[in-house]
Structure 1
Amino acid sequence: MIRFWGQPKFSVPTGKLAGYELFLRERPTREGEWHLPADFGAFAVRDFDELLRATLATLPQDLQLVSLNLDQEQFVDPDYVAQLGRWHQSGGPQLIIELTERMGVGANQVTPVRLVEAARIYQEAGLRVCVDDVGTGANQPELVDVLDPVVTEYKYALQNVRGTVNVGVIRAQVAYWSQRAHRQHHQFALEGCEGVADLTLIHDFAPDLVQGYFFGRPHPLTIAADLSI
């Protein structure tokens, strides 16, 4: 069984709920525990799409946006590109595709050219593309340079660096991506805000969107029934 969990995303200028980031979770039985899938590629795109529609049908109608994570292999998968590319035609909140720092489980290297081609198709279909976890994994500045013309948002994940680098380094990295987003006329999102200390980063760098445990933890979203696969 699969279900989307959602973490609220808040608009900094308004202080209001802007939408949710959706996280796919699965469990073996109705009585089992929800957990992160070991292989996201194991799910058919039609199941993913059915679950997405069932989930969004239960969310508030005034949401501005909903975002989905795709690793590099999913991002360029023709089935995802085609199915999600049709999503904008159905109305509802703005759908944002977040390209994560993960390569995917397959052995094939995803070239920057393929990522740009897929991002352009999403963009032409009315979807927005966010480079998630900028500065970590595959999403280094060199790749972002290539993707800049076809993305609209950077997201910096505090949880990826917390405890591994000092506060000064974190501030420098947030400053870099915030200023870069401003120059490129992209939105900037700050993820992983977990305590009062992180509010200083919000105050000093004024991201457009924030999310994290301080504002709301991921939780199971209501749908008519768990989707069995």
Structure 2
Amino acid sequence: MKNIYRFFVQPQIGSQTKSIIGYELLLKEYTVNGWRIPESFSAIDPEIIADLLIKTTKALSTKSPRLSININRSQLMTTSISNAIVQSQKLLYPTKLIVELTEDDNSKRYSRAEIFSRLKIFWDNNIQISLDDVGSGINQFDDIQQLLPFASELKFALQNFHKRLIDPEMQTKVHFWRAMSNEYNLRLVLEGIENQDDDQLSDKMGIIFKQGYYFGRPRLLKLPNDNYTRSA
């Protein structure tokens, strides 16, 4: 069976207006059991991801003020993928494309100099950088501190932990990253909002940008001539 991949889109919400401010693109693979998250993103042919990204952004052009795409460090260092991201931004304009650097532990370790050299390609093309999964895996504060001055956004994912936002330990983590976002003048997006309690508590914590099942589950973005179901 040929490997088939598509992007799903999940809305991001601005709490002040409770309106959609953008979408995150989430890559999934079509299997006999429906759409699933790939076991290894690094194992996917970069040319497949690059081609799919360009087709997807063509379909989404002018439909959202912001679109976010996840890449791990190995994908960041892959020329075909970085070129496709730059081309996608040109296709999307005036929609803003944001690159989310994830904490994928399966990625090869790269020096900060190597990472900076690749990120500069995006900066030179007016593509913003988001540091995803902060506080998780290889995206701890010490690991990303030198990247903070060059980022536009931090994303803290509640779903990476086994505790909910009501837990004091989780609130301490969120407060820390909110403080870092204020210090470096970055957006902070809180992921994993699953119910009204999470939403209301995060409001009290001063969180403006949010994402999670409470606002909408990822949905399949069909490309022309697709006949796949929307089942995730």
**Aligned sequence identity (%):** 27
Which one is further off, 206-215 or 157-166?
A: 157-166
Report the equivalent of 1:73.
Answer: 74
TM-score, length-scaled by structure 1 = 0.87
* Equivalent pair of 1:54/1:224 in contact (CA under 8 Å): no
Q: Distance in 2 between matches of 1:191 and 1:183?
A: 20
1:27 aligns with 2:30: yes
Q: Distance in 2 between matches of 1:96 and 1:18?
A: 13
- Select which of 11, 14, 28 maps to 1:11: 14
Q: How many residues align?
A: 223
- Select which of 95, 101, 121 maps to 1:99: 101
* Equivalent pair of 2:57/2:88 in contact (CA under 8 Å): no
1:187 aligns with 2:190: no
Q: CA deviation at 1:128?
A: 0.7
Which one is further off, 211-220 or 10-19?
A: 10-19
Structure 2's unaligned 5+ residue stretches are 228-232
> 1:1-229 alignment to 2 at 5 Å?
1-28=4-31, 33-59=34-60, 61-90=62-91, 91-105=93-107, 108-163=108-163, 167-226=167-226
* Equivalent pair of 1:103/1:110 in contact (CA under 8 Å): no
* Equivalent pair of 2:166/2:198 in contact (CA under 8 Å): no
Structure 1's unaligned 5+ residue stretches are none
Q: Distance in 2 between matches of 1:225 and 1:47?
A: 18
Q: Structure 1 stretches (4+) deviating beyond 4 angstroms?
A: none
- SS at 1:179's partner residue? helix
* Equivalent pair of 1:10/1:210 in contact (CA under 8 Å): yes
* Equivalent pair of 1:9/1:17 in contact (CA under 8 Å): yes
Q: 1:2-53 deviations in whole A, cap 9, x for unaligned?
A: 111111111223321112111111125xx76212222323434443233223
- SS at 2:222's partner residue? coil
Give the 3 Å change call, closer, same or farther, for CA 32–159 of structure 1 in structure 2: closer
Which has the bigger relative contact order, CA under 8 A and spacing at least 6? 1
TM-score, length-scaled by structure 2 = 0.86
Q: CA deviation at 1:187?
A: 0.6
Q: CA deviation at 1:92?
A: 4.5
